[in-house]
Amino acid sequence: MIIMDYLKILEDLVKIRTDNRIGVKKAFKYLSNLFNNLGIKNTIIEGCFVAYKEKENFDLILNSHIDTVKIQSNFKKDDNNFYGTGVIDAKGNVVLMIHAFLNSNNSLLVISPDEETESNGIYNFCQYLRNKNKIQRGIKCIVGEPTDLNVCIGHKGRFEYIVESFGEARHASSQGLNPIEILSRVILDLKNLPLEKIKVDKIYSSSITPTIIKGGIQSNIIPDYAYVLFDVRSVEKDIIKKIDDFLSQKNYSKHIKSSLNPERHYANFYMLENKELINKLSKHFKISFFNATCEAYYFNKFLKADTIIYGVGKLELAHSKEEYLNLNDFDRGIKEVEKLAELMIE
């Protein structure tokens, strides 16, 4: 077993601000120096940091992401906890994956550069592996995210769904087609659209939530255009088609246009279907479902990899000023992730 000062590595990584591309490059340089000092090969492929012992021979991919959301709080620590943006989402879990990699023979470590934004890194990396025919049948993957040390066998899909509405600009005292009023009807109608639910350890539901709305240029002018962006989370397949079909039946349908925000890739709803693997893992770990979205979907879609999500930290603390990592949980995660990696490929 390789002995590492994981708390020092984690502190160093959290102190590198990675809510921007320059910071991500600095963090990857830090990781490269770390592995170079260990005599372990590493490189950058499609923007992802990759460490490997045998580049052509691996049956387990260990993944997490180095980027964070915009900084909510700076790093600090006490005897019990580390605090600050990134300690659980996901640099603490980067360190867990590093430990699993160092203590397994046939694994590949892949760290994403942009999971919180476009997901271009993993999207392109998975296609790179597929196109190079570098994937063995039956490959497995662990994605490091804050799951409170539960093994999550799936995650929600996420989409940015835009509805644009159109009318004619005119004086606010006149009557007629108002794009803002149209969008208010769209929002209320979608709130009443029946959505699916699933049960894993508890009930998880799809959701359609308006998060951005824009329109208008002056208080006394009815605008000719407005739009609303919905954050769509799914525990069902084809939810976008479901929304499209629903809106197409409304009497305002000829005055709206709907589409996905084209500026990013989207991870759809994912659920592990390997019942034998689930049963094996359930003997050692609590089985749950990741109530957000992550990049596990891409490993399954492009590489046909049986993928689970595992890591330290409570999901509800991520992206908040209250983000913290309990050090006892971190120690437990270090021990458990090594066992989890063994179970995935035995």
pLDDT tens-digit series, residues 116-135? 999 999 999 999 999 987 67
- The answer to the question of whether 116 is labelled as a binding residue is yes
194 and 151 in a common domain: no
105 and 11 in a common domain: yes
Angle at 299 between CA 325 and CA 342, to 5 degrees: 65
Which pLDDT tens digit goes with each residue over 289-299? 999 999 999 99
The dihedral over CA atoms of 298, 301, 304, 308, expressed in degrees to the nearest 10, equals 50
Which pLDDT tens digit goes with each residue over 238-288? 999 999 999 999 999 999 999 999 988 999 999 999 999 999 999 999 999
Q: How confident is the model at residue 1 (pLDDT cuts 50, 70, 90)?
A: low
Whether 252 is in a domain gets the answer yes
142 and 16 in a common domain: yes
287 and 141 in a common domain: yes
User: At which of 260, 281, 301 does a domain end?
Assistant: 260
298 and 252 in a common domain: no
Count of alpha carbons within 13 Å of 232, Cβ hemisphere only?
31
Whether 114 is in a domain gets the answer yes
- The answer to the question of whether 65 is labelled as a binding residue is yes
Q: How far is CA 223 from CA 163, 165, 176, 247, 252, in A?
A: 15, 10, 11, 22, 17
192 and 147 in a common domain: no
Whether 1 is in a domain gets the answer no
Which pLDDT tens digit goes with each residue over 165-190? 999 999 999 988 999 999 999 999 99
Whether 82 is in a domain gets the answer yes
Structural contact between residues 272 and 308, judged by C-beta atoms closer than 8 angstroms: yes
Per the structure, the complete domain to which residue 173 belongs is given by 157-260
Count of alpha carbons within 13 Å of 244, Cβ hemisphere only?
9
17 and 119 in a common domain: yes
- The answer to the question of whether 171 is labelled as a binding residue is no
Query: Which tokens hold the place of 61?
Result: 């991919």
Q: Which residues are catalytic?
A: 67, 115
pLDDT attached to residue 206: 98
218 and 123 in a common domain: no
CATH, residue 197: 3.30.70.360
pLDDT at 11 over 90: yes
pLDDT averaged over the chain?
96
Residue 194 CB neighbour total at 10 angstroms: 7
Which pLDDT tens digit goes with each residue over 15-30? 999 999 999 999 999 9
Whether 183 is in a domain gets the answer yes
pLDDT attached to residue 134: 67
User: At which of 206, 239, 260 does a domain end?
Assistant: 260
Strand partners, 199: 203
- The answer to the question of whether 319 is labelled as a binding residue is yes
Whether 87 is in a domain gets the answer yes
CATH, residue 86: 3.40.630.10
303 and 173 in a common domain: no
Sequence length of the chain is 346
Q: How confident is the model at residue 137 (pLDDT cuts 50, 70, 90)?
A: confident
Counted domains in the chain:
2
3-state secondary structure of 218: coil
Structural contact between residues 192 and 247, judged by C-beta atoms closer than 8 angstroms: no
- The answer to the question of whether 284 is labelled as a binding residue is no
User: At which of 200, 229, 260 does a domain end?
Assistant: 260
278 and 142 in a common domain: yes
Which pLDDT tens digit goes with each residue over 199-244? 999 999 999 999 999 999 999 999 999 999 999 999 999 999 999 9
Structural contact between residues 147 and 201, judged by C-beta atoms closer than 8 angstroms: no
112 and 63 in a common domain: yes
pLDDT attached to residue 57: 81
245 and 197 in a common domain: yes
The model's pTM: 0.94
Q: How far is CA 78 from CA 75, 81, 90, 114, 175, in A?
A: 11, 6, 20, 29, 62
Structural contact between residues 229 and 214, judged by C-beta atoms closer than 8 angstroms: no
pLDDT attached to residue 135: 76
